[in-house]
Amino acid sequence: MEQINEMAENLKLLGDKTRLTMLALLKKQPLCVCDIVDLLETSQPNASQHLRKLKSAGLVNETRKAQWIYYSLNIEDKPYIQAVLSCIPSLKEKIDQVKNDCE
């Protein structure tokens, strides 16, 4: 039952368009907050709030590189999340358009 509860909570998180889009972006490559802000055309506080929720659910990892924090997917043990992300259209072209401001 605990596993079902965890799955339900994680899938609820993905019910938000912003968080689902963030995971779709991170499916392609790790990104820093500044890139996510540019790609989603949102504010840094808004992006950070969503990333904090994804991190607390264990769906993303964060890694500090100099002054920037990079986020990456952490879904190896969550095949149901992998299945959802496999159905999402690629955002590669959108990612390729944004230059990396964090380096």
* 10 in Cβ contact with 78 (< 8 Å): yes
* pLDDT for residue 35: 93
* pLDDT for residue 85: 94
Please give the Cα distance from 72 to 70 (Å, whole number).
7
Domains in the chain with CATH codes: 2-95 (1.10.10.10)
Instruction: Encode pLDDT of 4-48 as tens digits.
Output: 999 999 999 999 999 999 999 999 999 999 999 999 999 999 999
State the angle between helix axes of 2-14 and 17-28 in degrees (0 to 180), rounded to the nearest 10: 90
pTM of the model: 0.87
